[in-house]
Amino acid sequence: MQRTRHAAPVKHRAKFPWRALRLTVLGFILVLTGLGAWLSKARTASWQRPLWVAIYPINADASDASTRYIASLGDEAFAPIDAFFAREAARYGVALTGPVETHLYAALAERPPELRPNSGALASIWWSLKLRYWAWRVTHERKETTPDVQVFVLYHDPERTESVPHSLGLEKGMLGVVYAFAARRATAPNGIVIAHELMHTLGATDKYDPATDEPRYPEGYADPERKPLLPQVRAEIMAGRMVLSRSDWEMPESLNAVVVGAQSAREIHWQP
């Protein structure tokens, strides 16, 4: 198979400048999506009005468990996310009483394009463009209100899938892709992941060591002034875990034990 590929007539290929055309198209898309992202960021970063967040459930493994779980979802499954943002924004003196409003939208049948592990920088850029195009393509003809932020939640049957890839939130593009489990006991932890990715779309950065998941001190601690410092009893949203001892950090059970730390608050323009 390798040989046929090498034997392809290079002369014919050179006739039309596909590569140049591809780069031009890529350039156009970059400019257009960059502009769109800048506009949506300018609209959302001021906290003058609530942020409208659309949640699109996706049955990621075509399982009955995911189908049943998605059918059981209502707005109340995501209400703790709204309550979390309301509580934390009030601590930072944000005037809006409900800064984030999640809305459950109808399920999507299609999965988003995936980034292969260990992809290079160019492949990552290409994939992020494909993802943004995909998000536009699967939602632009729908009748629902155009949201400020789109969160695609891919549900997996925990009986069939033990671990899921890292979720992600794209600041440029105002969209998040969340890998979640389709089980009632996973609803609260799923909410933490959704809130984390939502924070990314607003400009917040991670506050943990990617090699070990250990929260960074002090910005990744919910209570960096606590005495004694350990164990921490709450987690910072962009660290995602609370440090219990020098060698142990765990995800809290729900957003009730999660805060927005001072640095994250600055990053999303909650304080100067």
- The DSSP symbol for 101 reads E
Segment near Zn ion (CB under 5 A), from 87-95, 113-121, 199-207, 217-225? 199-207
CB of 66 or CB of 201, closer to Zn ion: 201
The sign of the dihedral angle between the CA atoms of 24, 26, 29, 31 is negative
Name the one range near Zn ion by CB under 5 A: 113-121, 124-132, 170-178, 201-209: 201-209
Toward Zn ion, which CB reaches closer, 135 or 193? 193
How far apart (Å, rounded) are the C-alpha atoms in residues 60 and 11?
Answer: 43
How many other CB atoms are there within 10 angstroms of residue 229's CB atom?
13
> Cβ of residue 200: shortest distance to Zn ion, in angstroms?
5
Q: How far apart are CA 197 and CA 170, in angstroms?
A: 8
Phi and psi (nearest 5°) for 189?
Answer: -60, -40
Is position 206 an interface residue for Zn ion (rule: CB under 5 A)? yes
Total residues interacting with Zn ion, rule: CB under 5 A: 1
The span from the CA of 263 to the CA of 211, in Å, is 21
Identify the H or E element spanning 80: helix 79-91
Q: Cβ of residue 208: shortest distance to Zn ion, in angstroms?
A: 8
**By C-beta, is 139 or 167 nearer to Zn ion?**
167
- Cβ of residue 120: shortest distance to Zn ion, in angstroms? 20
Our CB check for Zn ion shows the closer of 128 and 139 to be 128
CB of 235 to Zn ion, least distance (A): 13
Scanning 40-48, 81-89, 186-194, 204-212 for contacts with Zn ion by CB under 5 A, the matching segment is: 204-212
Report in angstroms how near the CB of residue 237 gets to Zn ion at its nearest: 9
Instruction: Say if CB 97 and CB 78 are below 8 A apart.
Output: no
User: Quick one: 206 or 223, whose CB is closer to Zn ion?
Assistant: 206
Are 157 and 132 a contacting pair, CB within 8 Å? no
List the interface residues with Zn ion, window 70-99 (CB under 5 A).
none
Return the range that interacts with Zn ion (CB under 5 A); candidates 22-30, 75-83, 155-163, 202-210: 202-210
Residue 171 binds Zn ion (CB under 5 A): no
Determine contact, residues 151/54, Cβ cutoff 8 Å: yes
Per the listing, tokens 């949203």 go with 237
Rg of the chain on CA atoms, in Å: 21
Where on the chain is the footprint of Zn ion (CB under 5 A)?
206
